Structure 1
Amino acid sequence: MTETPLLQVRLGNIAHGGHTVARHEGRVIFVRHGIPGELVSVRLTDSAPEAKFWRGDVVQVHEASEHRVPHFWDAADALKHRDPVGGAEFGHISLEHQRTLKAQVAAEQFTRLAGLKAEDYNFPSVQFVAGAEDGLGWRTRMSYSVDSAGHLAMSGFRSNKLTSIDSMPLAHPAIENSGIYGVDYSGIDRVEVAVSSADDQTILVLLAETVPGAAAKVAKQFPEGVNLASFSQQGGSAADGKGSLQVLAGNPWLSEKVLGEKYRITGEGFWQVHRAAAGLLSERVIDLLEPSKGEQIADLYAGAGLFSLPLAKAVGQTGRVFSIEGAPGTHADAKRNLKTFRQATVIRGRVERVLWQVATDAALDAVVLDPPRAGIDKQVAAELGSSGVSRICYVSCDPASFARDIARLSSRGYELEHVEIHDLYPHTHHMESIGLFVRH
């Protein structure tokens, strides 16, 4: 197999997705592991002649940016490994400059996809979330593959090659110290590990079993105090309702505590990844939406009820909160977490199928949106416009889909009154946006 020759290029602007944009003989190349302004050598990873653009990785730096720092994780360092693992693609950039680049990406998306002008929004930079100053140890949820030797492993960007690992510096210290890296996972395809962000820092390990009986053998290698559960890979997962959890040790759920309230999260049920995210986002949603007694509010894509619970407290017994979630397991968590609030109605169903009925039956005063990375679809935007709801608080983990949805909601009569960005994912290209839309 002929080795692809290296190209020497000057890196241009940052682009959404963790790339910088370079050009070579008129061809656009999306380059990972670089910093705008650097002169680098790039190994092409996708260079089909008919492709609209190519992809490549930085393998040598000739003129380094002043913002380049030594990568904190050897396995993810593209200058040391041909196929670095993913999950820390900004680890070679100083934290301060990471946030500058994220702000630039958000501004570009808002301008190009949402049609906004700089004066239409106001955020000076990406805001820092309280935590370790080095941006490490923040992940309370981790997903690992298992290699042929039974070791925990991860793959690189757009790669199927597994690299065994014995640490993940972004993972919560309780995960790193739980003994998970010394276990033989033969017969297991995937390992999900979560730690409670509450004071007890309880660990839950989920094993996706491919060989019958493998999970029980693996469980014997863990120390006491670790909660263990398994599910058949053929049966799906507990979160999507196509599989059921088998408890191996302890409980198949974790307790979380946010703003003084307790939540229960089962198995693979969704929860914010950053250890400080649930509290921060809850505070910001309530501060921006300003719910009041007697109001009727819909919490769409509600998950386990992270926002539904404080909203229910805010509207009181004379108000109503509709907590809508499609995933069966997460919906069950929401019912449990909201069971003491008679003003909360927990509904299982796809938002685009349920929202119209809720909006028909209730005169909604406000809506909270926290959709998956793909954002909301055209039908949801249309139904929100038809509902006449006056305030929408939108929590987004993807600036591109958020910008597109800004345009959709704007066409339905909503104005983006406020937007802010938080760095809930240090050393990655990801960011969290919160926007408040009002209809005058």
Structure 2
Amino acid sequence: MTGKLDWTGKRLKLDVGPVAHGGHCVARHEGRVVFVRHALPGEVVLAEVTDDPGKSFCRADAVEVFTAAEGRVAPPCPLADMALGHDRCGGCDWQHADGSTQRELKAAVIREQLQRLAGLDREVEVRELPGGLLRWRTRVRLAVDRVGRPGFHPHRSHRVLPVDDCPITVQGALDGLTDREWPQGAELEVAADADAEVHVTQRERAPQRRRGKRTPVVNTHVRGSGVARERAAGRSWEFSADGFWQVHPAAADTFAQVVGRMAAVPQGGVAWDLYGGVGLFAAVLAEQAGPGGEVSMVESSRRATEDAVANLRDLPQVSFRAGTVEDVLDDDTLPTPDVVVLDPPRKGAGRRIVEAVCAAGPARVVHVACDPAALARDVSLFAEQGYRLADLEAFDAFPMTHHMECIALLEREA
């Protein structure tokens, strides 16, 4: 064979195999792996190859279903219609599956990642959050196309599909945004808070170009006060509307309860809250530790740290470090913890952080993770340091997508 193998555009009849991490299923054709989107395990589909790197695998979209799985349903969003082919929106992976099937698929992914990356065989249940599959997303980012229309990208594409509405966003979040023209190439960050105030931040590159430097991004609040108000863990919260907060309305309160149960900080005890955001978990840990305890919160965003200081002004047992977790653990002397809570970015904590946490010797570590592969890698690293996975709860905090949230308890072995 000469030249690069390239099946792009080729249509293949495939027997669809198991789900894989990333919103697709695995099939095989002529000795190659085909990662198929818009299919379900057990189906027979016609799929068109969309991307072929010329290696042992390629990517494809199902364009026709010959044998449907029991959990298949008609997608509620017109931009998820199979007839659109490559012009389907890339934001949702599982609109063609009913809710129980989506959660079963996510549980299978978690099990597979734990087994493959951490060597653990563990049953997992992905729990449903209140509110159903639609109208749950309070925070969303839209791209703007070349003629000023906002929309979303297809999977693995920079093209923009203009939208009038999005059925997974909360009602009214996009009102007045999709029917007007925006600057070409801008991005819109939309946040609807607990008071139903919609905040919109427009992000665009500054017009000046400086040789050898990245063009700075200009953020402009174009709607709302810019201060989001939320309620969770028995408290009210105020913070920058373009800062981090859980996108599902029930997620913050649910996760705070689970983290609190797993952490179980003793009265007068010491806890670390790493990647602390605006202070949600620090508040829970501080209430458990009481006035005689200590909670050290670390957050790299100075704005989020300032918001946390304001939100937790009634909890003097909480101290705040604005800096990366790596730098703080390297350079700062934190009190020896009984418990560590960490909520790292999608890539996970990694070896450096895991080893630093374990060197401090906490009895328990609570790990909050939005990526099951990153969690499994971190669980394996903790095992190397003598910490076992004692508990795991998983939540369908992102219905219709392949994303999920896991909260793991790691305990130091005797």
What is the TM-score normalised by the length of structure 1? 0.87
Q: Give the direction of change, closer, same or farther, for the CA distance of 1:185–1:420 in structure 2 (3 Å limit).
A: same
- Deviation, 1:332, is 2.1
Residue 138 (structure 2) aligned to one of 134, 137, 140: 140
Which residue is equivalent to 1:388? 361
> Would the aligned equivalents of 1:6 and 1:41 in 2 still touch at CA under 8 Å?
yes
Which residue is equivalent to 1:66? 70
Range moving further from structure 2, 395-404 or 266-275: 266-275
Aligned-partner Cα distance in 1 for 2:301–2:82: 37
Aligned-partner Cα distance in 2 for 1:127–1:28: 31
Counterpart residue type for residue 93 of structure 2: E
- Deviation, 1:147, is 1.1
Residue 349 (structure 1) aligned to one of 314, 323, 341: 323
> Would the aligned equivalents of 2:263 and 2:285 in 1 still touch at CA under 8 Å?
no
Residue 54 (structure 1) aligned to one of 35, 58, 66: 58
Residues 1:207 and 2:202 aligned together: yes
For 1:107-118, list aligned pairs within 5 A. 107-118=111-122
Partner SS for 2:188: strand
> Would the aligned equivalents of 1:390 and 1:438 in 2 still touch at CA under 8 Å?
yes
Which residue is equivalent to 1:259? 233
The aligned length equals: 401
Q: Give the direction of change, closer, same or farther, for the CA distance of 1:366–1:356 in structure 2 (3 Å limit).
A: farther
Q: Deviations over 1:121-172 (max 9, x none)?
A: x43x21111113xx10111101000112211111111111111011111101
Aligned-partner Cα distance in 2 for 1:195–1:103: 29
Aligned-partner Cα distance in 2 for 1:78–1:324: 45
Residue 107 (structure 2) aligned to one of 82, 103, 107: 103
Residue 80 (structure 1) aligned to one of 81, 84, 92: 84
Partner SS for 2:247: coil
Aligned-partner Cα distance in 2 for 1:269–1:157: 25
Counterpart residue type for residue 352 of structure 1: E
Residues 1:4 and 2:2 aligned together: no
Partner SS for 2:137: coil
Segments of structure 1 that go 5 or more residues without pairing to the other structure are: 213-232, 237-242
Which residue is equivalent to 1:169? 167
Aligned-partner Cα distance in 2 for 1:205–1:246: 8
Aligned-partner Cα distance in 2 for 1:361–1:279: 28
Q: Deviations over 1:272-328 (max 9, x none)?
A: 111110000001100111123211100011111111112122212111111101122
Aligned-partner Cα distance in 1 for 2:84–2:369: 34
Aligned-partner Cα distance in 1 for 2:363–2:276: 19
Which residue is equivalent to 1:25? 30
Segments of structure 2 that go 5 or more residues without pairing to the other structure are: 1-6, 208-213
Range moving further from structure 2, 67-76 or 307-316: 307-316
- Deviation, 1:250, is 5.0
> Would the aligned equivalents of 1:21 and 1:28 in 2 still touch at CA under 8 Å?
yes
Range moving further from structure 2, 258-267 or 29-38: 258-267
Q: Give the direction of change, closer, same or farther, for the CA distance of 1:180–1:273 in structure 2 (3 Å limit).
A: same
- Deviation, 1:378, is 0.8
Aligned-partner Cα distance in 2 for 1:61–1:361: 57
Partner SS for 2:173: helix
- Deviation, 1:340, is 2.6
Residues 1:418 and 2:391 aligned together: yes
- Deviation, 1:249, is 5.8
Aligned-partner Cα distance in 2 for 1:417–1:356: 28
Residue 301 (structure 1) aligned to one of 248, 255, 275: 275
Aligned-partner Cα distance in 1 for 2:221–2:183: 19
Q: Deviations over 1:178-223 (max 9, x none)?
A: 3222222135610000011x2x2111000114477xxxxxxxxxxx
Which residue is equivalent to 2:187? 190
> Would the aligned equivalents of 1:19 and 1:32 in 2 still touch at CA under 8 Å?
yes
Q: Give the direction of change, closer, same or farther, for the CA distance of 1:40–1:296 in structure 2 (3 Å limit).
A: same
> Would the aligned equivalents of 1:188 and 1:208 in 2 still touch at CA under 8 Å?
no
Which residue is equivalent to 2:211? none
Partner SS for 1:180: coil
Aligned-partner Cα distance in 2 for 1:8–1:248: 48
What is the TM-score normalised by the length of structure 2? 0.92
Structural RMSD (CA): 1.9
Which residue is equivalent to 1:220? none
> Would the aligned equivalents of 2:262 and 2:366 in 1 still touch at CA under 8 Å?
yes
Which residue is equivalent to 2:210? none
Aligned-partner Cα distance in 1 for 2:8–2:105: 32
Which residue is equivalent to 2:97? 93
- Deviation, 1:339, is 2.4
Counterpart residue type for residue 163 of structure 1: L
> Would the aligned equivalents of 2:200 and 2:221 in 1 still touch at CA under 8 Å?
no
Q: Give the direction of change, closer, same or farther, for the CA distance of 1:3–1:397 in structure 2 (3 Å limit).
A: closer
